Amino acid sequence: MTSATESLEHDRQAGGAGPFQVTNRLIFSIALPMTLGFLTTPLLGLVDTGVVGRLGRAEMLAGLAIGAVLFDLIFTTFNFLRASTTGLVAQAYGRGDRREQQAVFWRSLVIALLCGVAIVLLSPLLLALGLWLMAPEAEVATATRTYFLYRMLSGPAALANYAILGFVLGRGEGTLGLLLQTLINGINIVLAILFGLVLGWGVAGVAIATVTGEVVGAVAGFAIVYGRFDKRDAPDWATIFAGDRLKALFGLNRDIMIRSFVLLAAFTLMTRIGSSLGPVTLAANAVLMTIFLVAGYYLDGLANAAEQLTGRSIGAAYRPAFDRALRMTALWALGLALLTTITFLAFGNALVDLLTTAPEVRALAYEYMPWAAVTALTGAMAFLMDGVFIGATWSRDMRNMMLAAFVVYGAALTVLVPAFGNHGLWAGLNLFLLLRGLFLVMLLPRRAAQTFRSAQ
């Protein structure tokens, strides 16, 4: 009898259910691999730009840039597939509910594939709209068309990868997430060089390399995830497509999508106002935004850890793990953000010199460097709280606080920019980042109390 009880307890713990101890090792087993995985993305962008740049035709490089922007704008909309899957799987993992973990995976994967097919079918219309908005010259438009139409073929695989990565992160398997990200981007980089330069396919070769990487990653990820499923826990189709579960998933996806749109609008507004201040100011701001993006990579990694650990603790109905995960990830986020700010205040000008050789752009970037350096600190809680609220599936609160912060941001820019120019623009951005985090922190105690009380 004792042996059977021990076996049952072992199975329960192996499934992630029940109380668990949050440690630095556990946090960084998720955060560090995903940070490294995220860092392969800008490397891929550099390789694609370098491959097309070596073709010696400016219109091809411009076409690649426009096509990549259009693609990113469209696919940013579907980030909710990754985020919602992570939160729901983490909670099922905390409960030890293996059947629901599989059901969440199948729901998200089916939605991802359907959305991906729809994107492929709509790609000619989306391209026409994008070219109308960007209004490039004829040769640039031709390059954009080639890149965009090829790359859009990756739609189903790219969105499937969102669902697969969400499932993997929901189970806290950061190393597997890193391997899949590295596989996708590694194949992409090697084939971009082979197709684009060695075989001379140019922009089309770069796009085909991306499609190949996404497809191989999706097939490999699916094979790994599906291969580890216990068939005894397999849900039937009625469970997978249960009306209440689909309604909850669509509600979560809707809120996260709105949040992503508003965040994109905030950065677009900054770029639009920056362009009105002149081309040199716009170029300096673009260089300085690199600093914000660098800080974002590891803050995103910690946010991924917060997603899984808070979601798991809620699923397990274990408040001590929730509180400890929140406290430890917050300390790490603020500590690393402070270190980043100090580093960029000390050495940021050297980074500017690496990114641009234009004397006037360098001079202006030096002037606004302190504003860019401090974005790591003002944005730390915004990144982390997004992770906490996604893991807890408090998506409506996250959406509403994003909207509230955006309203204050817009009002602040109408006052600060006319009075202080680009200094006012950067001050407004930092205010927006700070408010996003503060608004969510203010809501957190009440929402946590309600959630754990109802779980008892």
Give 124-136 pLDDT, tens digit per residue: 998 888 888 767 7
Domain enclosing residue 355, as ranges? 254-455
Q: Of 250, 253, 150, 160, whose CA–CA distance to 210 is shortest?
A: 150
Give 206-247 pLDDT, tens digit per residue: 889 999 999 999 999 999 999 999 989 999 888 888 888 888
Q: 223 with 271, same domain? A: no
What burial letters (b/e) apply to 173-198, b meaning 16+ CB within 10 Å? bbbbbbbbbbbbbbbbbebbbebbbe
pLDDT(15) > 60: no
Start-to-end CA distance of the chain, whole Å, equals 29
Q: 264 with 379, same domain? A: yes
The per-residue pLDDT for 53 is 67
**Lowest-pLDDT choice from 145-154, 274-283, 329-338, 383-392:** 274-283
- The span from the CA of 93 to the CA of 315, in Å, is 7
Helix (H) or strand (E) holding 162: helix 155-170
Torsion angles phi and psi, residue 289, rounded to 5: -65, -20
156 lies in some domain: yes
pLDDT(401) > 80: yes
Q: 216 with 320, same domain? A: no
The per-residue pLDDT for 2 is 39
The per-residue pLDDT for 16 is 62
- The span from the CA of 299 to the CA of 436, in Å, is 15
Distances (CA, A) of 292 to 39, 342, 377: 14, 13, 10
Q: 372 with 398, same domain? A: yes
The per-residue pLDDT for 68 is 76
Give 155-186 pLDDT, tens digit per residue: 999 999 999 999 999 999 988 988 998 899 88
- The span from the CA of 324 to the CA of 290, in Å, is 32
**22 vs 70 pLDDT, higher one:** 22
The per-residue pLDDT for 354 is 77
Domain end position, chosen among 241, 269, 297: 241
Distances (CA, A) of 295 to 27, 202, 300, 402: 18, 33, 9, 20
16 lies in some domain: no
Give 185-208 pLDDT, tens digit per residue: 889 889 988 998 888 888 888 889
Domain end position, chosen among 241, 264, 281: 241
Instruction: Name the domain count of the chain.
Output: 2
pLDDT confidence bin for 100, thresholds 50/70/90 = very high
Average pLDDT over residues 242-270: 87
Q: 95 with 233, same domain? A: yes
- The span from the CA of 344 to the CA of 348, in Å, is 4
15 lies in some domain: no
Q: 213 with 318, same domain? A: no
Distances (CA, A) of 378 to 83, 381, 386, 413: 23, 7, 14, 17
The per-residue pLDDT for 5 is 37
Q: 403 with 435, same domain? A: yes
Q: 237 with 258, same domain? A: no
Q: Which residue has the tokens 């985020």?
A: 83
Question: Is the C-alpha dihedral spanning 353, 355, 357, 358 positive or negative?
Answer: negative
The mean pLDDT value of the chain amounts to 86
The per-residue pLDDT for 180 is 93
324 lies in some domain: yes
**291 vs 345 pLDDT, higher one:** 345
User: Helix 98-134 vs helix 155-170: angle between axes, to the nearest 10 degrees?
Assistant: 140
The per-residue pLDDT for 9 is 38
Q: 94 with 156, same domain? A: yes
The per-residue pLDDT for 143 is 81
Contact 127, 63 (CB under 8 A): no
Q: Of 350, 341, 378, 360, whose CA–CA distance to 282 is shortest?
A: 360
**Lowest-pLDDT choice from 12-16, 298-302, 374-378:** 12-16
What counts of helices (H) and strands (E) characterise the chain?
Answer: 17, 0
97 lies in some domain: yes
350 lies in some domain: yes
150 lies in some domain: yes
pLDDT confidence bin for 12, thresholds 50/70/90 = very low
Give 104-122 pLDDT, tens digit per residue: 999 999 999 999 999 999 9
12 lies in some domain: no
The per-residue pLDDT for 288 is 84
Q: 214 with 101, same domain? A: yes
Q: 275 with 231, same domain? A: no
The per-residue pLDDT for 10 is 37
Q: 233 with 137, same domain? A: yes
pLDDT(427) > 80: yes
Q: Of 222, 72, 236, whose CA–CA distance to 147 is shortest?
A: 72
Domain end position, chosen among 192, 215, 241: 241
Within a 10 A sphere around the Cβ of 41, how many other Cβ atoms? 14
Q: Of 101, 96, 99, whose CA–CA distance to 9 is shortest?
A: 96
